[in-house]
Chain A
Amino acid sequence: MEPEIIRQLEPILATYLSHRLPGLKNLTINNIERSTGGASRSQWFFDATWDGDASISNQLILRTAECTCFRDEESSIEREYLIYKRLENSPVPVPINYFYEDDPQWIGIPFVIRQRLPGTTRMDRSSPEGQRRIADQLIEVLAAQHLMDWQALDLSFLGVPDDSANCAAHLVDQWANVIRREQLEPNPLLTAAARWLRHRAPRKVDRISLCQGQVGPGQVLCEDDKLIASLDWESAFLGDPMADIAYFSFMLRPTLGDYVDDLLARYCHLTGFTIREENIRFYEVFNSFWVAAICLAARRRVATGEMSQLQATYVGISIPHSFLTRIARVMTTE
């Protein structure tokens, strides 16, 4: 987003909300603050006050299409907005997304105005007992999410796998193509990883479910050890629920240890699914492959001058290496 637009956000937001909600009187915008959370899309927190009644919250977020790592082909902000809208009346708690706007007259790029809920994404700031309580709630939400009727929720636009037995291989091909499109130099490690993953793509899948892609600390909003909302739906897809379970387990085991096994047992009880270890091993590596793939887009954006912000350089260079090293380690030890 252009620095000149950022300096003018207050009047732009006031005019925009008045345009969307013409009944509001004496609308004022306060406390605009750029969010430090996440590393993908630029977003600002702000408060809005007005006289009279309105159907939206006073505490809001401006979330823009400006993105370090995703391309619209894989994850546009409109796609993200539609996912949130479909989830608003589902068992998955999400903030309300009020408006999607693609008219460039406002800030030059598409954006969403979203409800800002209380809480923090820093699960690690809770006590160990508190973290277990949040994880208890998260596994229940995850079970409900994986059992949801995504067709009834009109989520087929995420791409329905032709054949559940091939959904893992299809994911590998999809992201291998992204790597080919974005990479600036040959990357034999990722080429080998794509072929390694393809050969090990699991074919036994209990059900095609709505998967979030990233699940765990950083992707949930919590307050007083209560899970308030599930965030970060930009990488959602329809596929094997073990993809989410692998991510959940990978992210939570370092802090919760063997308690994760209790959580997975609870998940099996709630869903009737089996924890498929072969699938989990595959998705643990695939998730690293996926992170590396999306970070290559950030690298390209910096190299081509499309995005000069340090945020993009950081995402492109700093983030992927622990994942790449991990892929190399798994391939050499399995």
Chain B
Amino acid sequence: MQPTIAQVIDSLEYSLRHDLIPELSTPWAQQTGERMLWALEHLRQRALHEHAHSVQENVELHELLKLIRQESSKKEGGLEKLDLEMLNDLPEQYKPWPQLEDLQEENDLLRRALDNVIESSPEGDVANPELPIWQAILDYLARQAEREAQLAAGDWPPPPS
């Protein structure tokens, strides 16, 4: 449908910035107007990227969990202690035309499985880049944090006004 979601958000932002915020008479109302501008940017990022990020996130998690299963089968170091139970019952890699809700449901299960692996990993191993599992987990965590930061459209502390 035209105009696109991004274009509708553009017009909302324009009116908020030029028609509404200048008319607001209290600092609180002005600040709320500014936060509405942030919320619109956040919605724009989610509308444009959330689905693609969710697909990418789940692909990466499937690959990561597969690697963890392979590495843990070597039974080296502390790997035999890892909680891998959930790895035996992971969802199929997505349906042909996944809805965002399906991807999120799948993502929840995959993250939970990874969470269990991390919880059961010896504390001394956590974030040790010399361990292939942890190098892969760190790479995933860094990319996941960047993806979510893009969707959040946030910055703290905010730049001085």
Contact = CB atoms under 8 A, between A and B. Distances in A.
Given A33-B27, A36-B27, A189-B145, A317 B154 contact: yes
Contacts of B72: none
B111 A33 contact: no
- The secondary structure that dominates the A interface is helix
Contact of A332 (B119, B121, B129): B129
B153 interface: yes
Interface residues of B, number: 43
Interface stretch (B2-10, B14-22, B29-37): B29-37
Contact of A192 (B141, B152, B153, B156): B141
Given A188-B118, A324-B149, A199 B124 contact: yes
B157 to A, nearest CB: 7
A198 interface: yes
A318 B156 contact: yes
The DSSP consensus for interface residues of chain B is helix
Contact of B126 (A195, A291, A324): A195
A36 B160 CA distance: 14
B42 A188 contact: no
B118 A195 contact: yes
Interface in A19-53: 33-36
B114 interface: yes
Interface residues of A, number: 37
Interface in A297-328: 310-311, 313-314, 317-325, 327-328
Contact of B32 (A198, A310, A321): A310
Nearest to A251: B157
Interface string A178-220: 0000000111110110011011000000000000000000100
Given A188-B114, A188-B140, 4 more contacts: A33-B26, A36-B27, A189-B145, A320-B152
Please name the 5 residue pairs, one residue from A and one from B, whose CB atoms are nearest each other, closest first.
A318-B154, A34-B28, A186-B111, A321-B149, A199-B123
9 contacts: A33-B26, A34-B28, A124-B160, A188-B137, A196-B123, A311-B35, A318-B156, A320-B156, A321-B145
